[in-house]
Amino acid sequence: MITKCLFPVAGYGTRFLPATKAMPKEMMPIVNKPLIQYGVQEAMEAGMRQIAFVTGRRKRAIEDHFDRTYELEDQISGTTAEKNLEEIRALMKECTFSYTRQIQMQGLGDAIRTGETLIGDQPFGVILADDLCLGDGQPVLSQMVEIFTKYQCSIVAIEEVPQQETEKYGIISGKLLEDRLFIVDSMVEKPPVHEAPSNHAIIGRYILTPDIFDTLRNLPPGKNGEIQITDALNVQAKKKMVLGYQFKGIRFDCGRLEGFVAATNHFFNLMHASKPSQSVK
């Protein structure tokens, strides 16, 4: 049973400046819900109710979001506006939230290593909230938990991307084990297009076994001088087994404007489709 999910949320979100000048990028809303809330919802649905944030300076709005807002709640008590808080209240009832700070931005691997103090010695999920996933039938992290139950090893979610986009992602090469599931031979962080071993890109959903922390501690800086989770997973793949899972569903890269707008349209249409009597003004 995986009970903890780690959210690295210390990054700056420079692509969204000026919006992210004083606001965490994870608080950017897709329709009326911040990105981070979609992620926490997905973790909770996968049974991970201990939510661990690796946070940073200027990110306190995230802590406030997963807490009571007494004055506001008192004001809207008994009004129709209260309905808008139902989901977040349910999350707050079901989950616990803990925080630690990454002092210096030294890459995703460093952020995950910083989270060890909150995770301890157990397998855990990782969600990068920028990647907003809509699972087909089942949330993506829940799909991955099923695979973990069977194989008990680290798993990365993968998606086929156009070849010219491979340099934006960690890319795996591997052998098909069963439908949608690859045994990873190797993986490389953001390779130049002509050096990408495939077009199977890692997206922001991971299940990691806790030995990853030792590996991260002993890892030299990789791409861009940062500690890369991809490099640590490569070590695990060589020592034991790492799986790449081609998830069922769609993903929006909300760390980029195009993906953010596409997600906004998609989720708005979903909301609107479920309320057919309302017209859009």
Q: Is residue 203 near ligand G1P by the rule CB under 6 A?
A: yes
Task: Tell me the two tokens of residue 115.
Answer: 């989270």
Site string for ligand G1P, 117-156 (x = CB under 6 A): -----------x--x-------------------------
Number of residues that bind ligand G1P (CB under 6 A): 12
Q: Residues 108, 140, 184, 196: which binds ligand G1P (CB under 6 A)?
A: 108
Give the DSSP per-residue string, 6-38.
EEE-----GGGTTTTSSS-GGG-EETTEEHHHH
Structure tokens belonging to residue 259 = 């993906």
Q: Name the residue number minimizing CB distance to ligand G1P.
A: 170
Decide: helix, strand or coil at residue 262.
helix
**Mask for 227-246, x = binds ligand G1P (CB under 6 A):** -x-x----------------
Instruction: For ligand G1P, give the closer residue by CB, 206 or 213.
Output: 206
3-class SS of residue 236: helix
Under 8 Å between Cβ of 61 and 108:
no
Take residue 174 and report the two structure tokens written for it.
């591997």
For residue 148, the minimal CB distance to ligand G1P (Å) is: 19
- Shortest distance in whole angstroms from residue 189 CB to ligand G1P: 5
Scanning 110-118, 119-127, 140-148, 197-205 for contacts with ligand G1P by CB under 6 A, the matching segment is: 197-205
Q: Measured from the CB atom, is 27 or 126 closer to ligand G1P? A: 126
Identify residues 48-107 at the interface with ligand G1P (CB under 6 A).
none
Reduced to 3 states (helix: H, G, I; strand: E, B; else coil), residue 239 is helix
DSSP letter, residue 189: E
Distance separating alpha carbons of residues 9 and 129, to the nearest angstrom: 8
Only one of the segments 34-42, 175-183, 198-206, 266-274 lies at the binding site for ligand G1P (rule: CB under 6 A); that segment is 198-206
Residue of 196, 201, 216, 254 interacting with ligand G1P (CB under 6 A): 201
Q: With CB under 6 A as the contact rule, which of the stretches 73-81, 91-99, 201-209, 263-271 interacts with ligand G1P? A: 201-209
H helix intervals, 23-84:
35-45, 60-65, 70-76
> Is 169 near ligand G1P (CB under 6 A)?
yes
DSSP state, residue 169:
S
User: Contact at 8 Å (CB) between 258 and 139?
Assistant: no
Q: How far apart are CA 177 and CA 184, in angstroms?
A: 10
CB of 128 to ligand G1P, least distance (A): 5
Listed ranges 34-42, 85-93, 199-207, 256-264: which one lies at the site for ligand G1P (CB under 6 A): 199-207
207 binds ligand G1P (CB under 6 A): no
Query: Which amino acid, 109?
Result: G
Pair type for strands 249-253 and 131-135: antiparallel
Contact status: 182 vs ligand G1P (CB under 6 A):
no
Buried/exposed 93-112: b ≥16 CB within 10 Å, e otherwise:
eebebebbebeeebbbbbbb
Binding residues for ligand G1P, rule: CB under 6 A, are 108, 128, 131, 169-170, 189, 201-204, 228, 230
